[in-house]
Structure 1
Amino acid sequence: MATIVSLHAHPDDESITVAGLLARSADAGHRVVLVFGTRGELGTPVEGALAEGEQLAIRRTSECYESARVLGAERVEFLGYVDSGMMGDETNDHPWVFWQADLEQAANRLAAILREEEADLLTTYDDHGGYGHPDHIQVHRVGRRAAELAGVPLVAEATSNREMVLEFTRRAADDGTLDEMMQPTDEGPLEPPSLPDDFGTPVAQITHVLDAVPVIDRKRASMLAHGSQIGPDHFMAAMPDEVFALAFGTEWFVVS
């Protein structure tokens, strides 16, 4: 059996990007390990989700363990950095955030886990972090370097099928399925959310596609485990089952 180490920027990223891969791998008897660069300290909690005085980082840490249980992951680790915030935020410049981490230092922290686990596969993100979040970009950089240091034979960069996402978003805008994803304009009508030009990966560059539908209920349960971020009214929680399967039932990778 193989060992898969899955690197992520924040708690809940594993649910959205690779939960299907992790659940199916665990079901097949492979060892699954989750590693997070940060504890998602700068996330915006769902209103009323935190008890008075409860720290978001502590809540999100506990949510990681519940998500791991749902997916069948056997170990959860944190690299010890702090959430950098969205690209362009002043927090990007704070010395302790993941975005500012020394690449060799961070990569060596991860490489130690990879060596200990004798990892056969490391999952990271594509080179622009899917949508340009600084911590996601750092996952790509740190993951690539750590794989080199530890001699991991395979690296799978989780990505999105750019053409499919754009088409899905267009259709959702047309039929109103995902109204909560849409932003009101000054004129009143709703528009689909804008996507960065470099969002995802062209289909011609994608090497592997995974069907997550057989474990789609666990993928949703993994998302819902992160209740401080994904409440019952969140669009991902509120999607009808068939729409959720369409939106999240396929996972794409560039493997090298």
Structure 2
Amino acid sequence: MGPMTRTLVAFHAHPDDEALLTSGTMAKAAAEGHRVVLVVATDGALGLAADEFRSGTGGSNDVTRRTALADVRLEEARASADALGVARVEWLGYADSGHEGPIPADPPGQVRFCRAPLEEAAERLAAILRTERADVLLTYDAQGGYGHRDHVRVHEVGARAAEIAATPRVLEATVPRDTIARAVRWVGRFYHYPDEFDPSVFERSYTARADITHRVNVRRQAGAKRASMQAHASQASSDGGDRTLAAFLRIPRPLYDIVFGREWFRDPTMSGAGRAGIHRDIFEGLP
């Protein structure tokens, strides 16, 4: 009798978030024969992108441009999922809340994710978790990584949905802050980061190394991870200046494989295992 097949659901705030934090783990699980499902909370319509990705066919007003970008970004999520071996992609139906300033007014027929009632959003996700009989749910840490309000909401909604659906394990996708801060500084010696990128953010973001419980080696999935990033072409585009994703994609493969060859998670029910006892299999110990 072979190993048990599991179901992994990765819950992300926007299309392209999966590429950066969990795509290697998703590709690894899929390659091992597990079922992998990607759920995005929002359409990513407030993301930055070059005008070519906002053109639309129904006019040039702001609503049409946002709708056009939303369609592009959701399609990019599907292309990313194909590169990773994902079996199903779902959008919860919420609108992007934006990162800075007041939350914009709700677009026609939609609700900004941060305005959605917690129980309502959690029930939408829980319905997928129940249908899929998910064994593991990937979400974000309590501060949403670098603090984006939609990412914080993913943490809140994911935790509640797992309670409702009785999902056995929740893993918060994160990065040990000292490791990422050091890597960002090192890469910055060779690459000029775009103006939008603030390296100091990583000094105060994500999770302390002592609280990390899982570290997954995804070096063999580096090609799939890079393809996942490449699928989000709109988020590497700009009408002026450079974009962070574009900078990442210019890193040569040998260095890229080192920089992006591991992914980290925190199980809130476990104590931080520390370097010696850290877990390497996200399905280990499940009933």
Amino acid aligned to 1:124: T
Please say if residues 70 and 222 of structure 1, whose CA atoms lie closer than 8 Å, have aligned partners that are also in contact.
yes
Aligned to 1:195: 201
The within-5 A match list for 1:140-159 is: 140-159=155-174
8 Å Cα contact 2:49-2:237 kept in structure 1: no
Match of 2:125 in 1: 110
Which residue, 158, 176, 181 being the options, matches 1:166?
181
Instruction: State, as a whole percentage, how many aligned pairs show the same letter.
Output: 43
TM alignment of 1:16-95, pairs within 5 A: 16-51=20-55, 53=57, 55-86=68-99, 88-91=100-103, 94=106
Which AA in structure 2 matches 1:152?
T
**Cα distance between partner residues in 1 of 2:125 and 2:250:** 35
Structure 2 CA distance for aligned equivalents of residues 247 and 40 of structure 1: 26
Change (3 A) 1:207 1:93: farther
CA distance, structure 1, for counterparts of residue 150 and residue 56 of structure 2 = 28
Counterpart of 1:149, as a letter, is I
- Aligned residue number for residue 228 of structure 2: 222
SS in 2 for 1:251: strand
Question: Shift of residue 20 of structure 1?
Answer: 0.6
CA contact (8 A) 1:122 1:147 kept: yes
Q: In structure 1, what is the Cα distance between the partners aligned to 2:43 and 2:195?
A: 28
Distance 2:175 2:17 in 1: 13
Which of 13, 30, 55 matches 1:9? 13
The 1:251/1:181 distance shift into structure 2, 3 A limit, reads farther
Whether 1:254 aligns to 2:266 is yes
Q: Which residue of 2 aligns with 1:187?
A: none
TM-score by length of 1: 0.90
Q: Does the C-alpha gap of structure 1 residues 166 and 151 become closer, same or farther in structure 2, counting only changes over 3 Å? A: same
Q: CA deviation at 1:231?
A: 4.2
TM-score (norm 2): 0.80
Cα deviation, 1:19-75, whole Å, max 9, x if unaligned, reads 010000000000000101001010111353455537000111111111111101110
Q: RMSD across aligned C-alpha pairs, in angstroms?
A: 2.0
Distance in 2, Cα, partners of 1:21 & 1:235 = 22
TM-aligned CA distance change 1:11 to 1:19, over 3 Å: same
Q: In structure 2, how many angstroms separate the alpha carbons of the residues matched to 1:243 and 1:181?
A: 19
Please state how far the C-alpha of 1:107 moved relative to its aligned partner: 0.2
Structure 2, unpaired ranges of 5+: 58-64, 270-287
